[in-house]
Structure formats: C-alpha cells, structure tokens
C-alpha cells in the first residue's frame, strides 16, 4: 500500500512545517540518538501501578516506557502555585471581611483553622502532587498502539490503536514556552477520549512522536 512518492511528499511537507516553526535550540539533554528500526514487538508488560526504573526522556518507538521532561515538574508546580494563589485570593477577601466583622466572635477560630487546612491542602496540591504525578506519567509507542499512563490516586492506562488516530497537534502554550516544552494532542473519533493530551515533551520529541504515529496513519487513511 505504501506509495513511495506519496510518502516522500509527506516527509517533505513535514520538514517544511518544522522549518516554518523552528524548534528552540536545546540547552540541555544529550544529542538525539539516530532512530533505529522500531522493534515491532511489545516489551514485557509492567503492571499498571509499576514505575519502570530505567524510563528515560529520549523517545523511541520501541514499546518501552518514557517519562516526561523533568522540567515538566517545575511547570506543573508553577501551574499549581498560580492555581493556589488564584484560589486563595478569591477566598481571602470574604474571609478577611468575616474575620474583622464585629459579629465574628467565636467564628474567628474556625476561620483561622479552615485557612490553615486550606493552605496545607493547596501546598500539597501545588508542590507534592506534581512530583507524584510526574512519577506516574509515562507513555510508550509500539507497533500497534500509543499508551499513556497517568494518575496518582485514580490511575489510568489509555491505549490508542495507531490506526485510530484521526490527527495530531503539537502545541505550546505561554507557560510551556518558558520551559521549552510542548504538548502533543492525539485526536480520535471517540467521545471522552476525542482529544488525548500528552504533556511535558521537548518540541523535537513531540514532533518525533507525531512523525512516528503519522507513518502508519498515512498507510490506511480512514
């Protein structure tokens, strides 16, 4: 089915796209390893909660698990802090008003205790949680599927068969730009999983995953 010329055309187009949107010059990490012929068989299956100790960030379509870039942890924490500040800010005004109201009386203690609890929860959410989320956020691509595993309490392993991918997006938002990160969105014809997001990728990695996923998709257009 593979039409050589067609394939080449697509590759040219892809490189053109890359040129139109140049990747930032990398400041860390080793040079990308030349892509070997993908091993078309899955590695032994780790359980859903298991964290492979050797998972790296240099993606290859070999069916092994890869992690997000370590800088994603900082990004997630920054997002957590911003979220906590916004939430705390919204909560602050009414609680300060209530605290200094003349009728507050015995409720003052309650307000203070609530604030301590809320602050602790926000701190956990903003600082500790991203660490746990990072440890459990893994992905892999093999001959048949892309799998994304994530979740701290409720864990999920999501499989998208490669020929079910409708299209993919590589996007970089404002915060991600300062961390030199991008995210990949895989679109399917499903409903709740119509757009599956894979975070914390260097732009080259995101493009590499996209190119790999695209290879099968071009063979059997839906």
Partner 1 sequence: MPSEHGPADARDWRRLHPLSPIVGALETLAGYVIPLTVVLVFSRGSRFELLIILSLIPSVVFQVVRYFAFHYRFTESEIIVRSGVVRRTTRHVPYERIQNIDLSRNVLQRAFGLNQLSLETASGKEPEAVFRWVTGTEAREIRARVQAARLTAQPADRVDVGAHVRGNPAGKEIPAGGETLPGGEALPPALPGGVDPLAAARPLHRVPLSDLALLGAFSPRGAAVFAAVFGFGWQLGVYETPEFERWIRSVPDWWGALVGHAAGIAVMTGLAAVVLTSLVSIVISVAENFGFELADVGTELRTKGGLLTQHASTIPKGRIQILHLVAPLHLRPFGRVRLRAGTAGGRAQQTVGRSWILPIVPREKLTKLLESIQPTAVLPDAEWMGVDPNTGRRMKRRLVLWTFFLAAALFWKLGLWALLLLLVLPFGIVYADRTARHLGYAVTSEAVFARHGWLYGRTQIVRLSKIQTASVVESPFDRKWKMASLVVETASPTGGSLEVPYLPADVAQELQRHLSREASRRQFHW
Task: Tell me if 24 contacts partner 1 by CB under 8 A.
Answer: no
91: left (phi over 0), alpha (psi -120 to 50) or beta: alpha
- Compute the distance between CA of residue 83 and CA of residue 95 in angstroms, rounded to an integer: 18
User: What's the number of CA atoms in the CB half-sphere (13 Å) around residue 199?
Assistant: 19
- Please name the residue that has the structure tokens 């298991």: 50
Is position 196 an interface residue for partner 1 (rule: CB under 8 A)? yes
Nearer to partner 1, 157 or 185 (CB): 157
- Confirm if 159 and 147 have CB atoms less than 8 A apart: yes
Nearer to partner 1, 148 or 206 (CB): 148
Question: Is 146 or 201 the residue whose CB approaches partner 1 more closely?
Answer: 146
Tell which one of 26, 40, 131, 155 touches partner 1 (CB under 8 A): 155
217 binds partner 1 (CB under 8 A): no
The edge-to-edge listing of strands for the beta sheet with 195-201 is 167-171, 182-187, 195-201
Query: Which residues within the stretch 163-182 sit at the binding site for partner 1 (CB under 8 A)?
Result: 163-164
Residues 66-105 that bind partner 1 (CB under 8 A): none
Report the nearest approach of partner 1 to the CB of residue 183 (Å): 18
Other beta carbons within 10 Å of 43 = 13
The contact set with partner 1 (CB under 8 A) reads 42, 45, 47-49, 143-145, 147, 151, 153-164, 188-193, 196, 220, 222
């Amino acid at each position: 089915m593979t039409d050589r010329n067609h394939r080449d055309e697509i590759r040219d187009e892809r490189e053109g796209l890359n040129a139109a949107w140049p990747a930032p010059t990398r400041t860390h990490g080793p040079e990308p390893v030349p892509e070997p012929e993908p091993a078309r068989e899955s590695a032994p299956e780790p359980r859903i909660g298991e964290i492979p100790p050797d998972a790296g960030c240099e993606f290859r379509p070999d069916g092994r698990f890869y992690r997000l870039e370590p800088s994603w942890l900082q990004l997630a924490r920054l997002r957590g802090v911003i979220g906590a500040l916004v939430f705390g800010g919204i909560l602050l005004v009414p609680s300060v008003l209530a605290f200094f109201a003349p009728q507050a009386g015995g409720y003052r203690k309650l307000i203070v205790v609530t604030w301590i609890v809320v602050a602790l929860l926000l701190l956990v959410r903003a600082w500790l949680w991203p660490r746990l989320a990072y440890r459990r956020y893994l992905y892999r691509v093999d001959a048949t599927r892309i799998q994304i595993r994530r979740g701290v309490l409720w864990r999920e392993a999501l499989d998208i068969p490669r020929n079910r991918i409708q299209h993919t997006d590589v996007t970089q938002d404002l915060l991600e730009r300062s961390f030199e990160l991008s995210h990949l969105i895989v679109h399917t014809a499903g409903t709740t999983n119509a757009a599956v997001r894979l975070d914390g990728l260097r732009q080259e990695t995101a493009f590499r995953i996209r190119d790999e996923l695209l290879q099968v998709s071009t063979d059997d257009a839906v």
